[in-house]
Structure 1
Amino acid sequence: MPVFVPDPSAASPSDWAACRATIRAGSKSFFAASMLLPPKVRVSAYGLYAFCRLSDDAVDAAGGNRGASLARLERRLTAALAGRPADHPADRALAEVLARHTIPEALPRALLEGFAWDLEGRRYDTLSDLAAYAARVAGTVGAMMTLVMGVRDADALARACDLGVAMQLTNIARDVGEDARAGRLYLPRNWLDAAGIDPGAFLADPRLSPGLQRVVADLLTAAAELYARAEPGIAALPLGCRPAIRAAGTIYAEIGRAVEVNGLDSVTRRARVSGAHKARLLARAVLPASRAPGLSAPPLPETAFLVEAVLHHPVLASRRLPPWWNVSGQVVRVLDLIEVLEERDAFRRSAPS
């Protein structure tokens, strides 16, 4: 009787578990929203996030050896695309996700290009320039997630990219002080000029000012417009995937509102959304929503290349694994059940007898 030998480059149950641990530790907001995804989609989302997190961390830790760090990431991506991933859970998971969902190379390459812009310390003169950066580091993720959910429609992809860019603009508005103290400044230079803020002086001594508050407010307005543009795209997704994506957008939009509640002070304060409030937003995301108009709006000029990359990428028939070997969804279900049982046991042990 022939013996089946698993491909050592294939992602294992322990690899998917490691990816899940990465998103749980790295982003409470994304982890919370991901729990609303169908199990098979959730597993692939973990794989995508793990590689994005690994790449982001590698860039942050590059220090003076930035070129070498990026080159290593490029080589790892090339290997994953070729089906020969590096010996790391995130690489094996990424290789499987890229192949399983026929994700064009241009999308993860654009993501690394955005990280390269970070390493260069690139500044952005206009909101359009900033949107081009956001398209790479976040719009790419929105597009890849849309493919993971089995949707390749141009309009749905455009709206997913809108959502990714909106989230990135929210991140930037929230992290102005933190970024400045790390030597990074993403706010559009022409907005800073209009507010009377010298970029060099601000980086040397980040301080809140009325001018900076106006810039942060304008950035949140731009993000709000993109959240509204993205909303019609949710109805174009599979029914089971809609609550998670709605939850992710809602939670991030709420971060923007928390910045406003903080008096638009992103220098000395960090906006947060409490766990209880996130739970309420997650519960609300499960409720059916009315279909919003605007699905067919053209993509942003800065994200159009991502949509085109998908439309021009041939979709080949996927090689299906035997049902008994495709255990990713079951693994996540078991992990979730174990987590619930462990928490229940811990509660019982701590309860007075």
Structure 2
Amino acid sequence: MPFDRPALVLAAHKSIRRGSKSFAAASRLFDRTTRERVWLLYAWCRACDDIADEQDHGGASIPGGLDPDSRLATIRTLTELAIAGEATGSPAFDALGVLMRETPVTPAMVEDVLAGFALDAAEWRPRSEADMLRYCYHVAGAVGVMMAAVMGVPADDEDTLDRACDLGLAFQLANIVRDVWEDDANGRCYLPVEWLAEADIPPGEVTKPHYRHALVPLIARACAMARGYEASARVGAGRLAFRQRWAVLSAAGIYGGIASEVERLGAHAWDHRARVSTARKLAFIAGAFIDAQRSAPLAEKPVPSRRELAAMGR
């Protein structure tokens, strides 16, 4: 079925400007075709998040009266229609339909992202480090794989897709360490139970003031993991076209900056939400421009692999 692509692109651009100013700014570094496709992918991801959380662009609540399983079913139904090329009645889901026809994005890639919403619907929490990485894979690493496909990376280029996944994992680890307090307020904790037990932090007590100092080494551990995944991702970024490489390295620097800021602040990291200033973002973008003209340093791929993470829980 033909879609009004310009209208979908316009709606997607409005969505990304509302939902993520940093991502919207970074997307300007892409060539026009890639930029529009990135917006279309963002629109679908954002719509899924909003349905799952009953929010408007991650902000104000929009009570829908549906339980988590019903919200997940809605996401799946609309996504399946989009994959089939059918009109969904939602610009964000129609955007996915357009992407499926313009890029190497596969239904399996989409399914791996949907699995993350299933974990949240089940109120699943990580017990081990591998569990945490599995969650990071489905909510961010799998999106990184889709992003690489949007940039034209073939579905059979396993190593580059692995590296794109690694960048998503680095991003999500940064989100986890930044949002410990916010997640706790919503009854969630994405740090592994085993890590908390090793630090003698009881379940549900992670944000108690007297456990802040015990939490700091766990945050440092997660940040070190994020740096390893980011280093791996930079190798894959080196295989992209220049403007794509510049945009990806800019985003890597900005998200890495968030994790570094949380780590630097130590026990005070959650007094206020850690952010990267506009000046620092511009510095990261400028640095990425220089890095994009150099050969990426070699870096080993962390374990477990993308395939192993995807297979967990099946």
TM-score, with length taken from structure 2: 0.89
Describe the SS at the equivalent of 2:126. Answer: coil
Q: Which deviates more from structure 2 when the two are superposed, residues 70-79 or residues 85-94?
A: 85-94
Deviation of 1:198 after TM superposition, in Å, equals 0.8
Deviation of 1:115 after TM superposition, in Å, equals 1.1
Determine if contact 1:217/1:264 at 8 Å carries over to the other structure.
Answer: no
Alpha carbons of structure 1 residues 94 and 64: separation in structure 2 relative to 1, 3 Å: closer
Task: Name which of 6, 14, 32 aligns with 1:13.
Answer: 6
Task: Name which of 35, 45, 53 aligns with 1:52.
Answer: 45
Deviation of 1:261 after TM superposition, in Å, equals 3.0
Deviation of 1:46 after TM superposition, in Å, equals 0.4
CA RMSD across the alignment:
2.1
Q: Does 1:202 align with 2:206?
A: yes
Q: Which deviates more from structure 2 when the two are superposed, residues 286-295 or residues 122-131?
A: 286-295
Q: Does 1:146 align with 2:148?
A: yes
Task: Name which of 87, 90, 106 aligns with 2:89.
Answer: 87
Counterpart residue number, 2:229: 226
> For 1:65-80, what aligned pairs fall within 5 Å after superposition?
65-80=67-82
Determine if contact 2:143/2:168 at 8 Å carries over to the other structure.
Answer: yes
Describe the SS at the equivalent of 1:294. Answer: coil
Deviation of 1:293 after TM superposition, in Å, equals 4.0
Q: 2-side partners of 1:88 and 1:13: how far apart?
A: 15
Deviation of 1:193 after TM superposition, in Å, equals 0.5
Alpha carbons of structure 1 residues 29 and 207: separation in structure 2 relative to 1, 3 Å: farther
Q: 2-side partners of 1:207 and 1:54: how far apart?
A: 38
Counterpart residue number, 2:258: 255
Structure with more contact order per residue of length (Cα contacts < 8 Å, sep ≥ 6): 1
Task: Name which of 36, 47, 67 aligns with 2:29.
Answer: 36
Where in structure 2 are there 5+ consecutive unaligned residues? Answer: 55-63
Q: 2-side partners of 1:207 and 1:53: how far apart?
A: 36
| Identity across matched positions, percent | 38
Counterpart residue number, 1:245: 248
Q: 1-side partners of 2:9 and 2:225: how far apart?
A: 36
Counterpart amino acid of residue 230 in structure 1: A
Counterpart residue number, 2:19: 26
Deviation of 1:305 after TM superposition, in Å, equals 6.0
Deviation of 1:60 after TM superposition, in Å, equals 1.1
Task: Name which of 208, 215, 220 aligns with 2:218.
Answer: 215
Describe the SS at the equivalent of 1:233. Answer: helix
Deviations 1:70-128 (A, max 9, x none): 00100011000000031111111110101211311111111111011112111111221
Describe the SS at the equivalent of 1:211. Answer: helix
Q: 1-side partners of 2:93 and 2:289: how far apart?
A: 32
Q: 1-side partners of 2:301 and 2:172: how far apart?
A: 20
Where in structure 1 are there 5+ consecutive unaligned residues? Answer: 1-6, 309-353
Q: 2-side partners of 1:122 and 1:33: how far apart?
A: 32
Deviation of 1:34 after TM superposition, in Å, equals 0.7
Q: 2-side partners of 1:290 and 1:200: how far apart?
A: 46
Alpha carbons of structure 1 residues 147 and 305: separation in structure 2 relative to 1, 3 Å: farther
Determine if contact 1:175/1:266 at 8 Å carries over to the other structure.
Answer: no
Counterpart residue number, 2:168: 164
Larger radius of gyration: 1
Counterpart amino acid of residue 235 in structure 2: P
Counterpart amino acid of residue 110 in structure 2: P
Determine if contact 2:29/2:244 at 8 Å carries over to the other structure.
Answer: yes
Counterpart residue number, 2:280: 277
Determine if contact 2:232/2:302 at 8 Å carries over to the other structure.
Answer: no
Q: 2-side partners of 1:218 and 1:307: how far apart?
A: 23
